[in-house]
């Protein structure tokens, strides 16, 4: 099997154990939590994304890792991390906390999506060895980040969904 095929297989299979783990252990608990506490837990995980700056550290990644991919990935993670930390720092100021929650989830989701797109554009599977020590990030860490972004958006929309159901049931009762 070629290194590119192994990398692509790793990317896909990285989601499987995280989805199984998330569905069995994390999702039931997050859904049952107070919305603020659930978003706080997700923000805590994403606050560690500053680690993505390692993509621009010479010697950690190979010299042939495309700079366009590495730079965007590094600073997208860093921005998401700072926004998640801002959410955590403002948890007692709800009027600031919720916009930071939305912001870090939007920025983080866009970052991961664009990183996948850039990875395809620059032929990252063929250059997977250039990821060096960062190889594990897209394989092990990114899947749980994307899964929790989706969960965060679902949880953010849930109060609106509940309100819509209540309005609909009230309208039917009338």
User: For the chain, first and last CA: distance in Å?
Assistant: 64
pTM, full prediction? 0.88
In this structure, the dihedral spanned by the alpha carbons of residues 76, 79, 83 and 86, taken in order and rounded to 10 degrees, is 160
Q: What is the pLDDT of residues 142-164, one digit of tens each?
A: 999 999 999 999 999 986 655 45
What pLDDT does residue 60 have? 92
DSSP structure string for 29-60: HHHHS-HHHHHHHHHHHHGGGGGGGGGGSBTT
Cα–Cα distance between 106 and 111 in angstroms, integer? 8
Contact 84, 47 (CB under 8 A): yes
Nearest Cα neighbor of 136 from 61, 47, 82 is 61
- Which residues of the chain are modeled with pLDDT < 50? 163
Cα–Cα distance between 79 and 106 in angstroms, integer? 11
Nearest Cα neighbor of 77 from 154, 7, 153, 137 is 137
What pLDDT does residue 67 have? 84
């Amino acid at each position: 099997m070629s290194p590119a095929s192994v990398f692509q297989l790793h990317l896909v299979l990285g989601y499987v154990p995280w989805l199984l783990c998330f569905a069995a252990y994390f999702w039931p608990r997050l859904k049952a939590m107070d919305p603020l506490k659930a978003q706080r837990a997700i923000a805590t995980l994403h606050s560690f994304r500053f680690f993505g700056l390692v993509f621009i550290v010479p010697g950690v990644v190979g010299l042939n890792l495309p700079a366009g991919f590495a730079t965007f990935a590094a600073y997208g993670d860093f921005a998401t991390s700072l926004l998640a930390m801002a959410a955590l720092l403002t948890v007692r100021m709800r009027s600031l906390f919720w916009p930071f929650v939305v912001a870090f989830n939007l920025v983080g989701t866009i970052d991961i999506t664009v990183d996948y797109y850039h990875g395809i554009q620059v032929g990252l599977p063929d250059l997977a060895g250039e990821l060096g020590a960062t190889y594990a990030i897209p394989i092990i860490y990114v899947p749980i980040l994307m899964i929790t972004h989706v969960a965060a958006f679902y949880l953010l929309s849930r109060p609106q969904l509940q309100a819509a159901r209540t309005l609909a049931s009230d309208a039917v009762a009338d």
